[in-house]
Amino acid sequence: MALTVPSPRAPFEGDAAQWYRSELGWAATDGSPVQLTTGVHFDVLDVPAEAGAAVLSRVARTGPVALTGRRMQLLVAAGSAEELPGLLDWLEWGGVELDLTATGAGGRVTAPPPPGCAGALEAAVWLRPPVPGREAELPALTGLGDSGSAPDLARLVDTAATESHRIRLLHTARRRNARRTETQPLAFS
């Protein structure tokens, strides 16, 4: 799993929730773990980490990306979660079971520690951290009156759906082969 390593930054010392509020202007809850509110400044596309790694290797321009356990969260433009079902239908993924979800208005996601701040090993981490002042670079539907400076949401979702489906089929085939091996007696001549 080849992942992008963020450039070094000055170590963060202080309150993580306050950093998100003051540096990025994002709504964040106090407490541990800090939660970021979705639907205002961004939505989150959530995929299995294995599929997310493949997405990052195929799509050069994404917004910030976090890893939480075995899941990867790709930050996309606010309102994208509402567009996901229709976009999947338009991309001809409608009706296909995918391990792909979106969190939008009123949702929350666990906030990774701010860049340069160490966190617990099992906590979320930034693979591609947010950069203050670059919020307009979140993946959005382009060609619909947008400035065109944002990465294309349709391409990101199509790639995420493809990789999620590929991973699902691969795991299904492995389970099927494992069962076949367990139940098939050895044949000797």
**CA distance to 25, 100, 183, per residue, from 45 (Å):** 20, 7, 39
H helices present in 20-152, as ranges: 49-58, 80-90
Q: How far is Cα 84 from Cα 171, in angstroms, rounded to an integer?
A: 24
Residue 127 has pLDDT above 90, yes or no: yes
For residue 104, count other CB atoms closer than 10 A to its CB. Answer: 19
pLDDT over threshold 60, residue 2: no
Asked if 10 contacts 4 with a C-beta cutoff of 8 angstroms, the reply is no
Q: Per-domain residue ranges for the chain?
A: 16-130+137-175
- Tell me how far CA of residue 174 lies from CA of 19, 170, 185, 188, in angstroms: 44, 6, 19, 25
Q: Is the pTM here over 0.95, yes or no?
A: no
Percent of the chain with pLDDT over 70: 78
